[in-house]
């Protein structure tokens, strides 16, 4: 099987398992796990923030950050197709008591004017807005990268309105690779940022939140409240550390594989792809012209040894990652072309 469902399917290799087996551990709820501490310091450094906190998942990372930034009754601004809005079980209203107001992004990117237009000031009819969330790379927009200059405008515009900015950077490593900058040069335009170790980097478990020291202290208490305080977590943090140190540099291989896959499918099959939108490791394919539902095509391709996910009835998604080779990804493109020729 050539598994292109997600970069979350990656499994720890021998070298990572060795690092995991050798991890020094302690009780992290007592602040005594040296591996977790080293991971948190490394992450804070890479993102240019004062402090960081290791959490079990990306959803918990975002939700802890939202709760730390807001008070019940607040409104937060999120992009219309953001992960926080669509794929986190509607957690923000439940966990933080906030409502979510949407702005429509272009490839995931929205403008300071769009933010301004939905902030309604001090009128006693309306909920106070406290937070704006960006996502880079943007998952549902097909792994598109928000350019730094545009992020800076949203960041500065939000601050002028007295709002804080959270960045869902689950795939910030891909964004940094695509832009050829340090992750800190992206996280710079956020007050808090969340990152994942268990996607493209290939660690088995975990995400982190980074931001100012006081903020991360608040996050630590909220993580405990949500049941995310972990004891000898160095066992899994060691995989994340190994991934940060060894698996970031190769992400451009995933991007090249996705780019070439998309070029072949767009040119030779009846599926259509917005090639300019293929910027990192995600390819979204519109199957409308086949007259078939995306779900049906995914099933048919499974029989041909390739796994995709569907995003809705007309969109198929492929994600490249470290557990598929360049050759396998191009083979998947050929099988798709064979089944649905132009």
Ligand X SMILES: *Cc1c(COP(=O)(O)O)cnc(C)c1O
Q: What residues make contact with ligand X under the rule CB under 6 A? A: 57-59, 62, 83, 135, 139, 168, 170, 196, 198, 207
CB of 167 to ligand X, least distance (A): 10
Helix (H, G, I), strand (E, B) or coil at 38: helix
Q: How far is the CB of 17 from ligand X (least distance, A)?
A: 20
Shortest separation between residue 196's beta carbon and ligand X, angstroms = 6
What is the β-pairing status of strands 99-103 and 75-79? parallel
The pair phi, psi for residue 210, each rounded to 5°, is -130, 150
Least separation in angstroms between residue 239's CB and ligand X is 14
Give the ranges where the chain is alpha helix by DSSP (H).
Answer: 14-21, 34-47, 58-69, 83-86, 91-96, 112-118, 148-160, 172-179, 184-187, 213-225, 234-246, 251-268, 294-303, 326-339
**β pairing state of 315-319 and 309-312:** antiparallel
Rounded to the nearest 5 percent, the helix, strand and coil shares of the chain are: 45, 20, 35
Q: How far is the CB of 209 from ligand X (least distance, A)?
A: 12
SS3 78: strand
Looking at the Cβ atoms of 84 and 333, the one nearer to ligand X is 84
């Amino acid at each position: 099987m050539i598994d292109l469902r997600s970069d979350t399917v990656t499994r720890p290799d021998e070298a990572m398992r060795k690092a995991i087996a050798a991890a020094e551990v302690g009780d992290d709820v007592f602040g005594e796990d040296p591996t977790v501490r080293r991971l948190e310091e490394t992450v804070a450094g890479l993102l240019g923030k004062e402090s960081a906190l290791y959490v079990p998942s990306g959803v918990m990372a975002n939700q802890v950050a939202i709760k730390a930034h807001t008070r019940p009754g607040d409104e937060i601004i999120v992009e219309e197709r953001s992960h926080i809005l669509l794929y986190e079980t509607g957690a923000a209203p439940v966990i933080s008591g906030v409502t979510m107001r949407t702005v429509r992004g272009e490839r995931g990117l929205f403008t300071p004017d769009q933010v301004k237009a939905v902030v309604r000031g001090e009128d006693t009819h309306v909920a106070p807005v406290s937070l704006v969330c960006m996502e880079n790379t943007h998952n549902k927009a097909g792994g598109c990268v928000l350019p730094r200059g545009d992020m800076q405008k949203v960041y500065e515009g939000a601050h002028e309105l007295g709002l804080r900015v959270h960045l869902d950077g689950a795939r910030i490593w891909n964004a940094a690779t695509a832009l050829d900058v340090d992750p800190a040069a992206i996280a710079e335009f956020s007050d808090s940022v969340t990152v994942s170790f268990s996607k493209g980097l290939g660690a088995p478990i975990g995400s982190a939140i980074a931001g100012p020291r006081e903020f991360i202290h608040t996050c630590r208490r909220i993580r405990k409240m949500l049941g995310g305080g972990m004891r000898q977590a160095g066992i899994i943090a060691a995989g994340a550390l190994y991934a940060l140190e060894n698996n970031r540099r190769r992400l451009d291989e995933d991007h090249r594989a996705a780019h070439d896959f998309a070029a072949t499918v767009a040119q030779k099959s009846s599926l259509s792809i917005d090639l300019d939108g293929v910027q990192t490791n995600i390819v979204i394919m519109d199957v409308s012209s086949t007259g078939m539902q995306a779900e049906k095509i995914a099933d048919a391709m499974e029989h041909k040894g390739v796994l995709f996910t569907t995003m809705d009835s007309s969109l198929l998604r492929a994600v490249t990652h470290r557990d598929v080779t360049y050759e396998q990804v191009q083979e998947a493109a050929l099988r798709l072309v064979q089944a649905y020729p132009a």
